[in-house]
Chain A
C-alpha cells in the first residue's frame, strides 16, 4: 500500500510569515495525527483527527496553529504567524484506529529565520 504522503519536504520562511503543510494518509485510515518533532526530541502530538472530527487538540497552540481535515481524508496544518521556535519537523501519521501503531510520513522540515 502507498505510504503517508506529505508536502513540501522542506520550507524556509521568515518569522511572522504563514506556512501550510499537507498530508494524505494511507487509504482507509480513519485516524490522522500531526506531530511536531524539534531537533533532538521525540515527536510531540499536536492534533488527532478521527475521520473529519477532532479527537484531541489539547497540545495545539491555537493562537497560531490550525488544522483541518474537511472530507475526512487529507489534512492541512497551518502556522500563522510563525515564530523562531516553530522550527521543527512536522510529521503526519495515520492509523486504522483502535490500539494500532501508526504509519508516519517523511515529514516537512520547517526552518523559521
Chain B
C-alpha cells in the first residue's frame, strides 16, 4: 500500500495506552495552532486547535497543551485505538492578523499495536 512519511519520527503505543505527540514550533509570534491527523491516501483532518491565550484545551479523547515559553506543543490521545494510527502534524499560524496561512511541521507517525 501507500507509504506516507518513510523517514518521519515514529511512536508506537499499545492499544488502550495514552499517546503523547510533541511538536516544537518556530515563531514566537504565532497565535493559533492546530493538530491534524493524516491517514494514508487522505488529506489532513482537523483534530483540535488552540489559541496562544490558552495553555490547554480538551476535546473528545484528545488534549492539546501549549507551552509558549519553550515554544512547544503536545497532543495527548487517551485510550489510543487502532483507528488512531496515522501521521500527526502540528501547524502554526505565524500571523496575528490578516492572512491565516498555516505552517506545518514534519509530522509524527503513530502506530497503535493491537
A interface residue numbers (CB < 8 A to B): 4, 31, 33, 39-45, 48, 55-56, 91, 93, 95, 97-107
Given contacts A99-B32, A101-B34, contact A43 B44 (CB under 8 A): yes
Stretch at the interface among B13-21, B78-86, B96-104: B96-104
By the criterion CB–CB under 8 Å, are A103 and B46 in contact? Answer: yes
Give CA–CA (A48, B46) in the complex, Å: 19
Q: From B31, which residue of chain A is reached at the shortest CB distance?
A: A99
A99 and B100 form a contact (CB under 8 A): yes
B87 to chain A, nearest CB (A): 9
Main secondary structure of the interface of A (DSSP, over half): loop
Chain A contacts for B44, CB-based, 8 A: 43, 91, 104
Contact of A104 among B43, B93, B103, B105 (CB under 8 A): B43
Determine whether the beta carbon of B105 is less than 8 Å from that of A42. Answer: yes
B-side interface mostly: loop
The closest CB in chain A to the CB of B42 belongs to A106
Besides A45-B101, A104-B43, A106-B43, 5 new A-B residue pairs in contact (Cβ under 8 A), listed by A number: A39-B4, A40-B7, A41-B106, A99-B93, A101-B46
State how many angstroms separate the Cβ of A103 from the closest Cβ of chain B. Answer: 7
Closest 10 CB pairs of A and B: A42-B104, A104-B43, A40-B5, A101-B34, A40-B7, A104-B44, A101-B46, A106-B43, A43-B104, A42-B89
Contact B45 A104 (CB under 8 A): yes
Interfacial residues, chain B to chain A (CB-CB below 8 A): 3-8, 31-32, 34, 36, 41-46, 49, 51, 89, 91, 93, 99-107
Q: Could you tell me if B8 and A40 are in contact, using CB atoms closer than 8 angstroms? A: yes
A sample of 7 inter-chain contacts (CB < 8 A) reads A40-B5, A44-B104, A48-B99, A95-B100, A99-B51, A106-B43, A107-B43
CB distance from B22 to the nearest CB of A (A): 15
Q: Which residues of A contact B8 (CB under 8 A)?
A: 40
Q: Which residues of A contact B102 (CB under 8 A)?
A: 45, 101-102
C-alpha spacing A100/B100, complex, angstroms = 8
* B43-A105 in contact (CB<8A): yes
